[in-house]
Amino acid sequence: MRFHNRRNALIAGCLGLCILILSACSMPGQRVEAPRVTLSSIKIQDINLFEAVLHIEVRVVNPQDASYDIKGIDCVLDLDQVKLASGVSNMPTHIPSLESAVIPLTIYSSVEDMAKCLKELKGKDKINYNINGKLHLAGGFLKPSMIAFNTDGQISLQGLKDLKL
């Protein structure tokens, strides 16, 4: 008889724990809102026979009430729907609630991809860009370990008009 009481108590305890965990997952305010990631700057660092190395900075805007603890970022940059470059950064960044931070990142492009993008720039006043990837977060219990982002924007090329590309 005692065996059945212990077993029933154990089953009831496990069910109660499962209900508690599931209800915590569905509580309002537990959802992580995606950040807004925009291109802040782009500079050519090095070009050789095989690849171009670019230094970019992305601004990450935290629109939620909780902070982001970012462990790293990986992304792909497209210009006018042509892949320009991709790269990663493992620079830890803390972004408080409702604030933003600029994260530096080195990205790499093949000379072929760079040439395609330079051809697209010719004669244009502005060019569309897309930056997409993942923010790797210092996760925890019931927190995601990464958040995907995908942002479109435009870059003005007014200062490049006189260059011969």
pLDDT at site 165: 47
In degrees rounded to 5, what are phi and psi of residue 6?
-65, -45
Determine, yes or no, domain membership for 95: yes
CA–CA gap between residue 7 and residue 18 (Å, rounded): 17
Residues 48-65 have a mean pLDDT of 93
Domain with 64 in it:
32-160
In DSSP terms, which residues pair with 73 in a beta bridge?
A: 89, 135
Residues 80-87 have a mean pLDDT of 91
CA–CA gap between residue 165 and residue 11 (Å, rounded): 73
21 with 52, same domain?
A: no
26 with 42, same domain?
A: no
pLDDT at site 29: 46
90 with 15, same domain?
A: no
Could you tell me which residue, 44 or 5, shows the higher pLDDT?
A: 44
The pair of structure tokens assigned to 100 is: 């933003």
Structure-derived torsion over alpha carbons of residues 14, 16, 22, 28, reported in degrees to the nearest 10: -160
Residue 61 contacts by C-beta under 8 Å, 6 or more apart in sequence?
35, 36, 37, 38, 99, 100
Q: Do residues 65 and 98 make contact, with C-beta atoms less than 8 angstroms apart?
A: yes
Kindly report the CATH number assigned to the domain that includes residue 142: 2.60.40.1820
Band (pLDDT 50/70/90 cuts) for residue 54 is very high
Determine, yes or no, domain membership for 129: yes
Considering only 23-27, 68-72, 133-137, 138-142, which range has the smallest mean pLDDT? 23-27
The pair of structure tokens assigned to 165 is: 């590309």
Considering only 16-30, 53-67, 80-94, which range has the smallest mean pLDDT? 16-30
Determine, yes or no, domain membership for 151: yes
Determine, yes or no, domain membership for 165: no
What's the gap between Cα 9 and its chain centre?
46
pLDDT at site 115: 85
79 with 11, same domain?
A: no
Count of structural domains, the chain: 2
36 residue type, one letter? R
CA–CA gap between residue 151 and residue 68 (Å, rounded): 18
